[in-house]
Structure 1
Amino acid sequence: MSVVSKFQPTYENLRKSKINKISLFSKLKSKTVGVGFLFAILAAAFSALPNVIPKSFLDAHAVDTSTIPNPLMLVFVIYVVNSLLFSPFRKSQREHEVKKTSRMTLFLLILLGAVEASGTLTYTFGLQETSATNASILVNSETVFAILLGIMIFREKLSKQEVLPFFLIVAGSILIPVGADIQNNEWELSDFMMGDLLIVMSGFFYCLDTFIAKKLDDSIKTRHIVHIMSCTGAIMTLGLMLFFEIPFDISFEELSVMSFVGFLGIGVTMMFFVIALRLIGAVRTVLIYSSTTIFSIVYSILILSEGLTILNIVSTSSVLIGLFVLRNRVGSD
């Protein structure tokens, strides 16, 4: 018996073992990508809830305006619930994390919470005056402000291929919906248009969120960020309520629904978004997350029975095409 024939079965077994490992790795990678896509879609679906559900309470008692809950109260409930629900997860390493967190990091976390709360407040006040469908489209102004700040502060430049998608986002998220409202109100400033402007302002605050979050240390856990952000938002809204003497008047139904919406729409959304980032990368995650607008419009139609106009479709299509082309371009670079 030759040496080659003697070790032939062993060689064949090794070759088959390697093939099986490659096949198993390929299957695991495929499943990982699939799970990543699922988390990104769930993040988009959950993040659309705070864009729509509060509107049902702000309009529910239109006949008796005294029973309409103040937007500050709704936002306060959201942040209190998130701060309570995410707090227990930190107990095991609380002392270690407190010692490890620098003053600058703590400052950034508190600043992140204040800016996030400002965005949620301006959005909720704007939602009280405008339609949920309009608000879902206008909030995409966040991308416009992010690009403008990148150009002005970080001296970044748009390439020729990025100008058209940027203009599509500007037109779809700001020019078309706001311009249509101005024309419908015969060029007079109305409450509806004021609501639109507040939604656009919330996009600016959400844009600042992104820039602040990028400065945070990657070692900080997502639930730690959510907890401090929520505590800051709760303290901020509580201070505003006391300053403006807003009563703590909210029904059990509103409290329970807003608690559920806040937990899913802010806390769980951020957790799922970060998980998707780690599994499928930033470009894929952000592209899928852009479907939040579509989920918001669907919820507006199903829950609030709002109508969908041609301009709404044009605006949404313009924003989504612009985001897809622009982020694909960034991903290829």
Structure 2
Amino acid sequence: MSIVSKYAQPQHIIRELKIGKIIIFSKIQKQIGGAGFCFAILAAAFSALPNVIPKEIMESSETEIIPNPLMLVFVIYVVNSLLFSPFSKLNKKNRTKNSTENGIERSIKVKRVTLILLISLGVVEASGTLSYTIGLQETSATNASILVNSETVFAILLGIMIFKEKLSKKEVFPLILIVAGSILIPIAGDIQNNNWQLADFRTGDLFILLAGFFYCLDTFIAKKISDSIKTRHIVHVMSCTGAIMTLILMLVFEIPFHISLEDLSIMSFVGFLGIGVTMMFFVMALRLIGAVRTVLIYSTTTIFSIVYSTFILSENITILNIISVSSVLLGLIVLRNKIGSD
């Protein structure tokens, strides 16, 4: 056997091993993309619950106790702060790693920045939830689910400018479908219902738009801290901050703590799924598929809100609603295939 043949065989084996590693890595990437897609969809489905349920509670008969929007938001964050309370302490080994002075100073700085971001996340999230709940009291659930999609536009623009995340050419088409289905078509339907005249924005509409802005900021703060702290801790600190913030507002504006036991149980369940679990799944999706794609998929909250509004609030589904849903679903299918192939 010649020297060339001796070295050719190992090189051939090495080449096959490299190809095998590439195939395995590609499969893992596809699984990660699929998991991120599922987390974002579940976050959208659960997030639609607080978009509809409070509307029914705040429209109770005059003989029943009608809770203030601040009270509803307060219940949501108190429940989440209790259910997501961290039961385990930090590992002692992690505390002893930075035993040097430089290590301790650096650790303190990191913890300080993280704490500021967590508190900011809680304030922004609670402000968005409160703005949406107040706006929901003054407008329909369907209209609110349409207007809050302003978050999608803001988030995509900020994602491209701040996080330098770019949409490929193949992702532009599903983006157009999702934006058209979740924003343009519903707004066109709303204008049609008003005899093609642009109605003046009511106070409720302005609060919904404000909520969309807060939710946009929420997305990027969560993206900033998602890699440096556990998701469970993010939800816990966020909920505690939201509960303290709403409590202070209730005391300042002298809002009574009036809520029936039935409404309390309903809002506890809705708040747990719609805020706490949603935030967990949303952060997981951010880690796996990035801010731009997560927000695109999360925009299907509008579809879930319309479906819930139909079954819970007995709101009618129009042809434009069906076209809107179909457009978003088609965009999601195309986007899902793109995520899986990357």
SS in 1 for 2:225: coil
1:146 positional shift: 1.3
Counterpart for residue 293 of structure 1: 302
For 1:112-261, list aligned pairs within 5 A: 112-150=121-159, 169=178, 171-178=180-187, 180-181=189-190, 184-185=193-194, 187=197, 193-216=202-225, 218-261=227-270
Counterpart for residue 44 of structure 1: 44
Deviations 1:169-199 (A, max 9, x none): 55544455445545645757567x4433322
Counterpart for residue 79 of structure 1: 77
Counterpart for residue 101 of structure 2: none
Identify which of 316, 320, 324 aligns with 1:311: 320
1:295 positional shift: 2.4
Counterpart for residue 92 of structure 1: 89
- Flag the 1:189–1:248 CA change in 2: closer, same or farther, 3 A: farther
State the alpha-carbon separation in 2 of the partners of residues 139 and 331 from structure 1.
Answer: 28
Which amino acid counterpart does residue 269 of structure 2 have in structure 1?
Answer: F
1:68 aligns with 2:55: no
CA contact (8 A) 1:112 1:212 kept: yes
Identity rate, percent:
74
Counterpart for residue 9 of structure 1: none
TM-score, L = length of structure 2: 0.71
State the alpha-carbon separation in 1 of the partners of residues 223 and 264 from structure 2.
Answer: 33
Which amino acid counterpart does residue 260 of structure 1 have in structure 2?
Answer: F
- Flag the 1:123–1:38 CA change in 2: closer, same or farther, 3 A: same
State the alpha-carbon separation in 2 of the partners of residues 276 and 43 from structure 1.
Answer: 9
1:297 positional shift: 1.9
1:147 positional shift: 2.5
Tell me the number of residue pairs that the alignment of Structure 1 and Structure 2 aligns: 306
Deviations 1:199-242 (A, max 9, x none): 23212111111111222161301111001101111111112112
State the alpha-carbon separation in 1 of the partners of residues 254 and 78 from structure 2.
Answer: 19
Which amino acid counterpart does residue 236 of structure 1 have in structure 2?
Answer: M
Greater Cα offset, 210-219 or 233-242: 210-219
Which amino acid counterpart does residue 235 of structure 1 have in structure 2?
Answer: I
RMSD of equivalent CA atoms: 4.2
Greater Cα offset, 200-209 or 251-260: 200-209
CA contact (8 A) 2:76 2:268 kept: yes
1:139 positional shift: 2.4
1:33 positional shift: 8.6
TM-score, L = length of structure 1: 0.73
